[in-house]
Structure 1
């Protein structure tokens, strides 16, 4: 099997890396986080119009380049290197992904807007009581004339503070944790009855608690078949998990580079700490974790169309969750107390890796999913 990137994918990587190296140096990123909304909207627009990369992974029928998950992987690794607070996963992987899968007039109208940067989607699949169970929903959608009325609470909806649309699940039938009865809706963020409580996350991203209080939406807000959305949502989340693994890989590689540079400069007992064998061993361990993360990400991404997709995704996410925590802790320990200060980049990479570790399933969740799969195979 050929594991080399195509010429187009290589150009995507190089173009984005050059742009982010100019746009997302540490000081510029810090200034962005202090802005209203925690970001610079001009950056997202530049990614869409000047670089034209938001359509790289999307079908040509909607104005994209006709790529796929590998293209998203290439881009996300570069976003990870820069710890860029751009909503690629919620917007392109989840938002556009859901529209492309369900098709219809809604997709034809909105996917080109996502590619052009005008439409931004915040995805809310999780609720406070549900942990990582995508079927554990208290949010309901009841038929109301030709449309729907939504009530409920979605937790930690990344990009919701500046989103134009919200992609959310709601129960149109069945009991709270039943697989059947889960439906998928795309709601305008400014719809009447949609209430947000916005806040910054520890990694710099903006998120919201989103409340639906008798929010009325039209019939076209329903994506796909009523009550049968859970398999699609699970697929979307697995795609998002692999994109986050790619982001973690980029962040891990860059954090290793920063730690290596620091070890060459920081002196103790008259020589650079990088000359001490214990530090050299730690740096090698960090390098190995980053390399393994890249390999596992590629493996999981290539298997997204596999019948046993869940197994491959959980193997990759479990390994990378564990490796990201270890590498981040080693980096902070090597830097010492300064490693967790806001003035040093290393601490910000550590924070982002810590958040990725919990997004779309933590270590325990994915180990549990692997165990459940193995037990099913054995039975």
Structure 2
């Protein structure tokens, strides 16, 4: 396998990194991530102006990318900067709209923001447990039910909703103006919402959407593993810098062999995470997609928690303060494990896949 990025993807990563480093400084991030609307609409427009969204889909859908590695390089930079812009919904919505044969022009230009509502209180990860219902009353489709922790839902113009219609799992487009969205920030910053549907008007996109929803969840999970990788590498860099400057007993704490060994262990863990993200990215749109994504989400979730815990322990009390970035990176790393399936969920999913061949 070729581990080198292509020139186009290297340029994509460098463009994203330069923009976020210039436009998303730490103080700015703290101001916008926890205050409504829990992101910066101007920066969303700026990212769209760079053409980043066109890298989410292939040329056949009007884009210029769409491969697993395109998603990975974008979200690794999102993780490095701890950027709260709701791009995850755009990735998943792009897959769903493509599967439905719907136009993507407004999504790719950034003019319309999309969120994807799948999880429910009693079925946070598995589409099979969805109870939200759809009924055709003669004047169009109407949805009833509740969706929980809809990422980017509070700032979305459209919400793509998974609901049961005539005993099948279908996909609907609901205009945000026709839904009851209750926005709030996630614990690590960034916008989310509860979606309450009581006969909300909806447009049917896919009548039998099980495979399309599973595919969108896989691509979303890949994006999260890449984001975690970027966040882990930044956290580790901050840890090494702290170990070289914080002194105890007259010498930097990085001179103590015990902490050196722990730091080396983290290096190995992060490299394992990078390898599995690369493997998952290479498998997207192929027969091993589901298996590789489950492996990546399980392993990266475990490593992300380890990096967060070790960074806090080796920093000491300063890592728990609001002003110091490590505390926010740690919260994001822990939260990523719970988004779109935690380590246990994806381990069970992997076991089932291996048993069924």
Q: Shared fold (TM-score greater than 0.5)?
A: yes
1:374 CA displacement? 2.2
Q: Which runs of 5+ in 1 are unaligned?
A: 175-180
Aligned pair partner of 1:214 in 199, 221, 235 = 199
Q: Does 1:343 align with 2:323?
A: yes
Q: CA deviation at 1:67?
A: 3.8
Q: Distance in 1 between matches of 2:285 and 2:165?
A: 28
Q: Which of 134, 142, 151 is the aligned partner of 2:135?
A: 142
Aligned to 1:154, the other structure's residue is in SS state strand
Q: Structure with the greater relative contact order (CA < 8 A, sep ≥ 6): 1 or 2? A: 2
* Structure 1 residue 131: Cα displacement: 3.1
1:177 is matched with: none
- Contact 2:124–2:148 (Cα < 8 Å) also in 1: no
* Whole-Å separation in 1 of the counterparts to 2:343 and 2:287: 22
- Alpha-carbon distance in structure 2 between the residues aligned to 1:278 and 1:25: 33
Show the counterpart of 2:13.
Answer: 13
Report the counterpart of residue 64 of structure 2 in structure 1.
65
Q: Deviations over 1:28-61 (max 9, x none)?
A: 1112225430111110101111x11111132334
Aligned partners of 1:62 and 1:112 also within 8 Å: no
Indicate conservation of the 8 Å contact 2:174/2:201, yes or no: no
Q: Please give the alpha-carbon distance, in whole angstroms, between the structure 1 residues aligned to 2:355 and 2:8.
A: 41
Distance in 1 of aligned mates of 2:277 and 2:137: 44
Residue 99 of structure 2 is matched in structure 1 by 101
C-alpha distance in 2 between matches for 1:34 and 1:304? 33
CA RMSD of aligned residues (A): 1.3
| Equivalent-residue separation in structure 1 for 2:125 and 2:6 (angstroms) | 35
Distance 1:350 1:34 in 2: 16
Contact 1:321 1:357 in 2 (8 A): yes
Aligned partners of 1:151 and 1:215 also within 8 Å: yes
Unaligned runs of 5+ in 2: none
- Does 1:190 find its partner at 2:177? yes
Deviation at 1:375, TM superposition (A): 2.1
User: Quick check: 1:57–1:69 contact (8 Å CA) kept in 2?
Assistant: no
CA drift of 1:366 comes to 1.0
Post-superposition CA distance 1:225-282 (Å, at most 9, x none): x2x2111101110111011100000000000000110111111111111110111111
Q: Offset of 1:64 from its aligned partner?
A: 1.8
1:117-132 superposed matches below 5 A: 117-132=110-125
Matched, 1:274 2:261: no
The answer to whether 1:114 aligns with 2:112 is no
Question: Matched residues in 1 for 2:65 and 2:226: separation?
Answer: 20
Secondary structure of 1:54's counterpart equals helix
> Is 1:90 matched up with 2:89?
yes
From 205, 208, 228, give the equivalent of 1:248.
228
Distance 1:142 1:80 in 2: 40
- Whole-angstrom distance in 1 between the partners of 2:65 and 2:15: 18
Q: Mean alpha-carbon deviation: is it higher for 12-21 or for 33-42?
A: 33-42
Q: Could you give the per-residue CA deviations for residues 84-125 of structure 1, whole angstroms, max 9, x where no partner exists? A: 00111111x11121111211xxx22xx111111111011110
TM-score by length of 1: 0.91
Structure 1: distance between partners of 2:201 and 2:55: 34
> Residue 165 of structure 1 aligns with which residue?
158
Query: Aligned equivalents of 1:271 and 1:357: distance in 2?
Result: 36
TM-score normalized by the length of structure 2: 0.97
Asked whether 1:47 is paired with 2:36, we answer no
Q: Does 1:231 align with 2:231?
A: no
1:288 Cα offset (Å): 1.6
Q: Are the aligned partners of 2:320 and 2:327 in contact in 1 as well (CA < 8 Å)?
A: yes
